[in-house]
Every structure is written in C-alpha cells, then in structure tokens.
C-alpha cells in the first residue's frame, strides 16, 4: 500500500538535491500541513490545509450502500486515501514550484548585486544615481 511517507521522502530528497537542509513536515488533526526547509540561511515554509482537498475527494467518491462497509468506516477510509493523495499533489507542487522560486530569488539577488555595484561606481565617480 502506498503511504504519505513515500511522498514525504520524495519531497525531502528533491529539496536536499536543490541544496536545502533541515526539511521538516507537519500535519495535525485540523488537517493543517506544512513543509519547512532552510537553504542558504533562509527558512522557507509551505503552510497548507488539506480540508479542501479532502472535501473534493469525498464529493467525487460518495458512499454507496454496501453491506460490508458502514458509512462511517467508508468515510474514515476515504479520508485516509485523500490525505495520501494530498501528499502526492503537494509533492508534485513542490517539484514544479520550488525550482522556479529558487531561480527567481537567485536572479533577483544577481540583479540587486549588479544595481548595487553600479550605484557604488556612480557614487565613487561623483555622479548621483
């Protein structure tokens, strides 16, 4: 059986490949989820809530009267499946969005460094920016 731990391991391996360290996962009874990591002395955090995804999952898979499974047991099983799938959706989101954000941050840092160097040059030449 697939578990959410496999998706968490994939996220951790991917973030560590990108140079992140101290990857932490949180999930509480209110379905609040977070993925936190640090990279180059900056801490990043994705706080999310799984309730919307679980509600969507439950609407897509309504309970049908079956003699083997009660409605309550079916709901518990579906919530467990929804949480597992939520972690896989989060994994795909991290795979697609984190590299873009890292690239954008590094690009902005390079631009700001270039602007700072240009400003220092102008100030040393005696012209104003």
Structure confidence by residue, pLDDT tens digits, 42-79: 788 877 888 888 888 888 877 776 656 777 888 888 88
- For 66, the 3-state DSSP assignment is coil
For residue range 3-15, list pLDDT tens digits in order: 788 888 888 888 8
Count of all residues that appear for the chain in the document: 129
**What span, in angstroms and rounded, lies between the C-alpha atoms of 97 and 77?**
30
Q: Match 């099983």 to its residue by tokens.
A: 77
């Amino acid at each position: 059986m697939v578990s959410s731990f496999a998706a968490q391991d994939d996220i951790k391996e991917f973030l560590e490949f990108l140079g992140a360290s101290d990857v932490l996962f949180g999930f509480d009874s209110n379905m609040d989820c977070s993925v936190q990591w640090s990279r180059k002395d900056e801490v990043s955090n994705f706080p999310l809530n799984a309730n919307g995804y679980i509600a969507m999952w439950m609407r897509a898979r309504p309970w049908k009267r079956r003699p083997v499974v009660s409605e309550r047991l079916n709901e518990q099983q579906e919530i467990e499946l929804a949480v597992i799938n939520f972690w896989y959706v989060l994994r795909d989101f991290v795979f697609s969005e984190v590299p873009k954000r890292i690239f954008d941050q590094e690009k902005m840092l390079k631009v700001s460094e270039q602007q700072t160097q240009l400003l220092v040059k102008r100030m040393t030449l005696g012209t104003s920016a």
